[in-house]
Amino acid sequence: MTKLSVNINKIATLRNARGGDRPNVVQAAKDCERFGAEGITVHPRPDERHIRYQDVYDLKEIVTTEFNIEGNPTPEFLKLVKEVRPEQATLVPDAPDAITSNAGWDTIRHKDFLTDVIAELKELGIRTSIFVDPDERMIEGAALVGTDRVELYTEAYASGYHQNREQAIAPYLAAAKKAQKYGIGLNAGHDLDLDNLKYLHDTLPGLLEVSIGHALICDALYFGLENTIQLYLRQLK
């Protein structure tokens, strides 16, 4: 079974546009869960342009499904994660000024750093996932740093899907098989949407979770949040 974790960054982007509290991020998370989301994902960035650090503490109080915090493991991020203790922390190597995440970890070059951070988080009972490109060498590296899961960075799949989906999925299938071989759990995310999700789900073995934000919130403008979450869940059956 593949869980749908709804990334609510874009709810916070909308709230921040006016500086008030509409839409309320905590209420949106509760509603996502009520409408069927099986997890809530946030990706606080250093400039707090969408999710603020305080939102993460507030969300911890109310999320009843699986709370997944994504981000670059800076000292500030690690302090937040250790205090909040979500079910899962997803480590993403993004630059502070990146518009959005644009690459996975080099798990070989950053082996020592990742090994230390992952051990610290696992000791607190936090499941770890690391964001990686669909590169078998990076999966081998992930196995060596001791992570529970990897999250495959699906931007390349999403952008190639309409041209040639078999070709677009090929490196992801190889990476998924490698992860299975090493006993690493498999997550995926970035630019997944109602067009490309089902094929990803049906093709990748052992896909445990997808985190989806941008397209899902865009779809919700047209279909409503409840219908949209149901539409996404249907792709994962």
Ligand X SMILES: CC(=O)[C@@H](O)[C@H](O)COP(=O)(O)O
List the binding residues for 1-deoxy-D-xylulose 5-phosphate.
45, 50, 100
Mask of contacts with ligand X, 156-195, x by CB under 6 A?
Answer: ---------------------------------xx-----
List active site positions.
43, 70, 190
Q: Which of 38, 55, 191, 219 binds ligand LD2JLWAY (CB under 6 A)?
A: 191
212 binds, among ligand LD2JLWAY, ligand X, none (CB under 5 to 8 A by kind): ligand LD2JLWAY
Q: Rounded to the nearest whole angstrom, what is the least distance from the CB of residue 92 to ligand X in the complex?
A: 5
Q: How many CB atoms lie within 10 A of CB 153?
A: 25
Q: For residue 166, what are the CA distances in angstroms to 45, 95, 157, 209, 234?
A: 34, 31, 10, 21, 22
The answer to whether 145 touches 107, Cβ cutoff 8 Å, is: yes
Instruction: By CB under 6 A, tell whether 141 contacts ligand LD2JLWAY.
Output: no
The answer to whether 43 touches 86, Cβ cutoff 8 Å, is: no
Q: How many CB atoms lie within 10 A of CB 15?
A: 20
Q: Which of 192, 200, 207, 220 binds ligand LD2JLWAY (CB under 6 A)?
A: 192
